[in-house]
Homo-oligomer: A and B are copies of this chain.
Amino acid sequence: MKHRPGRHFLQIPGPTNVPDRVLRAMDRPTIDHRGPEFASLTKEILEACRAVFRTSGAIAIFPSSGTGAWEACLVNTLSPGDKVLMHETGQFATLWRTMAERLQLEVEFLPGDWRHGVDPAELEARLREDRQHAIRAVAIVHNETSTGITNRLAEVRRALDHAGHPALFFVDAVSSLGCMPYEHDAWEIDVTVTGSQKGLMLPPGLGLHAISKKALAAAKSSRMPKSYWSWDEILGSNRDGFFPYTPATNLLYGLREALAMLSEEGLEAVFARHARHGEAARAAVRRWGLELLPLDSREYSNSVTTVLMPPGHDPDAFRALTFDRYDLSLGMGLGKVKGKVFRIGHLGDFNDLMLMGSLAGVELGLRLAGVPHHAGGVQAAMDVCSARDAVVNPRLQPV
């Protein structure tokens, strides 16, 4: 491939830019996964994971993608024929539903328009109807990477409580964990599912769970055939710092480093940074005169911004252009919005100037592609960052 100068801007909503510290941590020889050095690595990681998931409970780490961790969640807790309530919030909700059906679960899929998240009131109503508690689990994608919509989990939790329904509560936090506030214990989530390649800033290859006691209890009666994903073996081995099969050692080196980075920066600072970038990106989109896919401002994602392409313009041709000309990778439209939107990822190891470079690439690309828009998107984003700076440090007055 022809050499391209400078750094690639990987602004898909994940995998995200892997920081050098993480790459360098992974760039060392594999060690004996049955030796003493490995045991302390595992224990250190599990402890640091708890701080990020905000749980005092069990953590499981699989050599798998996040999709594998979805499957692990379902097969550990449920049995063939069990009923799961899901919402059509976008592509990843749809894929999880397809997986559940392939695993011989019965899915009730509340329809959605891909522009709104879960309606907690609708959920509550549906659960109240389920007098027999046929619904064994409610499964929600916290941040729909395909639409840029963040579901209001605290309200979803309250909906379950108000309905007095005992369903298990599963959450896909793949593109939210490490990007926005997340409370596994406080929100009484039973299984949180995530992957390594988004807010955790690693290459893909690890799937992770935080697991409640209620989920562990449910696992005891699960009749789903399983082996690789079984919590019993993995949690048992982990207690001593080991794994029931060969773990992805070098990714674990990277995870240790990434968790240290999150801790050094501080989770509150990490979330504030993502919030600033989300707001700035949306300001740019508004200035351009383009339309955001999400319609409810309470549900705007701080990880990814999804933009509707004006009719008559092909978002994928536009993306090919930003890639070729500006070395910028943007996310494609998936599923029902394929060919209608493009997505700007602004999550993980990212800062203000990287965001401005990325938005400049989008704006330059819109020009080149002849997409009607107003100039000034980058300026609008800068204004947001600048105003935030003034708030953070009132001593510093923007002009």
A residues apposed to B, CB below 8 Å: 1-10, 12, 14-21, 23-24, 26-37, 62-68, 70-71, 75, 80, 98-99, 102-104, 195, 197, 203-205, 224-228, 230, 244-251, 260-261, 264-265, 270, 273, 321, 323, 325-329, 332, 349-358, 360-361, 363-364, 366-373, 375-376, 378-379, 382, 385-386, 389, 396-399
For A323, list chain B residues within 8 Å (CB): 35-36
CA distance A95 to B83 in the complex (A): 32
Tell me whether A396 and B382 are in contact (CB under 8 A).
no
Q: Are B24 and A24 in contact (CB under 8 A)?
A: yes
Do the beta carbons of A26 and B28 come within 8 Å of each other? Answer: no
CB distance from A33 to the nearest CB of B (A): 7
Cβ-closest chain B residue relative to A244: B67
Task: Assess whether A226 is in contact with B102, with CB atoms less than 8 Å apart.
Answer: yes
In the bound assembly, the distance between CA atoms of A18 and B31 in angstroms comes to 10
Q: Which residue of B lies closest to A372 (CB)?
A: B399
Question: How far does the alpha carbon of A372 sit from the alpha carbon of B398 in the complex, in Å?
Answer: 10
Q: A3-B261, A10-B30, A327-B351 are in contact. Are A389 and B368 (CB under 8 A)?
A: yes
B382 pairs with A360, CB closer than 8 A: yes
Please determine whether A6 and B361 come into contact, CB atoms closer than 8 angstroms: no
Q: Known contacts being A8-B31, A18-B29, is A326 close to B353, with CB within 8 Å?
A: yes
A346 to B375, CA, bound (A): 24
With both beta carbons as reference points, the residue of chain B lying nearest to A345 in the complex is identified as B32
- Provide the residues of chain B in CB contact with A204, threshold 8 Å: 30, 33, 63, 246-250
A106 to chain B, nearest CB (A): 13
Q: Which residues of B contact A24 (CB under 8 A)?
A: 24, 27-28
Closest chain B residue to A197 by CB distance? B246
Please name 5 pairs of A and B residues whose Cβ atoms are closer than 8 Å in the assembled complex, sorted by A. A63-B65, A64-B228, A80-B225, A356-B357, A372-B399
Known contacts A2-B265, A4-B265; 10 further A-B pairs (Cβ under 8 A)? A6-B349, A23-B29, A63-B65, A99-B228, A103-B226, A104-B225, A356-B361, A367-B386, A373-B399, A376-B379
